[in-house]
Structure 1
Amino acid sequence: MNSNELSRVITQRVACDWRAAYALAADPARLPEWASGLADGALAREGEDWVATTPGGRAVLRFAPANEFGVLDHWVAPEGVPEVYVPFRVVGVAPGACELQFTLLRQPHMDDAAFAHDAEWIARDLRALRALLEAPAR
């Protein structure tokens, strides 16, 4: 990776219908089950927003409205930091299979090491989401 890289799409193939993947991933209350970079504890609702305890502290989260296109975009506003736009999609690729597509946008303060660290963390969280989605129903 070099300092000219401004974005990176991180993908994860999942053996799950895209609608089921979307339904689980779009539920903010389920974020602590798989999104360790975004919510490492319970989320609380505050009006239209959600508040999470992240590894970096408290953050206010906003989510794209429910839709039929697999769009899971969200906005994260950590305390003392400008709000960050996070493009995220679930795309059906075959019957019973989908791909999670998360676009990491380099923030102005990120050096190469921080960008690489965030990319690795997102990949780990997407693997956790895949495991949750592919787990046998209980």
Structure 2
Amino acid sequence: MATETRHIIVWIDRPAADVYRFVANPENLPAWASGLGHGIEKVDGTWMVDTPMGRVQVSFVGSNVLGVLDHLVTLPSGESFCNPMRVLADDEGSEVVFTLRRRDAQSYEEFCADVETVEADLARLKLTLESA
């Protein structure tokens, strides 16, 4: 069970549908989610990402109209964890909320480093979408 949770939020000056469509496409991960890894490919219907921990599997929840972008990450060890993520409409723009949970075996310092990585990834997402 997680011992700590952080909701990391960024506001993006783009309609929620645009943000959702971009983030929901796993092929766009290298453009904004470098914290997850680099290089993504679909192997036998499964999205695989090269990370410092090795190749991990990433599975997004199915397409939906609610802005839910939850994704399951499975490490080479077989350990899996869910990353809840949402795109919320906010007038003409969007709010992206990423929920990061500290895993049992993760130190506080490792968790803080993950928080910083997700913050940087969401800042990159904002920059990518607002400059398009």
Provide the TM-score with structure 2 as the length reference. Answer: 0.94
Structure 1: any 5+ residue segments left out of the alignment? none
Residues matched between the structures, number: 131
Query: Partners of 1:68 and 1:79 in 2: how far apart?
Result: 32
Partner of 1:94: 91
Structural mapping, 1:4-43, within 5 Å: 6-41=4-39, 43=40
- Structure 1 CA distance for aligned equivalents of residues 123 and 75 of structure 2: 24
State the superposition RMSD in angstroms: 1.4
Question: Is the partner of 1:107 in helix, strand or coil?
Answer: coil
What's the offset of the Cα at 1:39? 2.6
The answer on 1:125 being equivalent to 2:115 is no
In the TM superposition, residue 40 of structure 1 has moved relative to its aligned partner by: 1.3
CA deviation after TM superposition for structure 1 residue 81, in Å: 4.5
Could you list the runs of 4 or more consecutive aligned residues of structure 1 that deviate by over 4 angstroms after TM superposition?
none
Give me the whole-angstrom Cα distance separating, in 1, the residues matched to 2:86 and 2:70.
7
1:48, 1:62 within 8 Å by CA — same for their partners in 2?
no
Q: Does 1:105 align with 2:97?
A: no
Structure 2, unaligned stretches of length 5 or more? none
- 8 Å Cα contact 1:12/1:130 also seen in 2: yes
SS in 1 for 2:38: coil
Which residue identity lines up with residue 29 of structure 1 in the other structure? E
Q: Percent identity?
A: 32
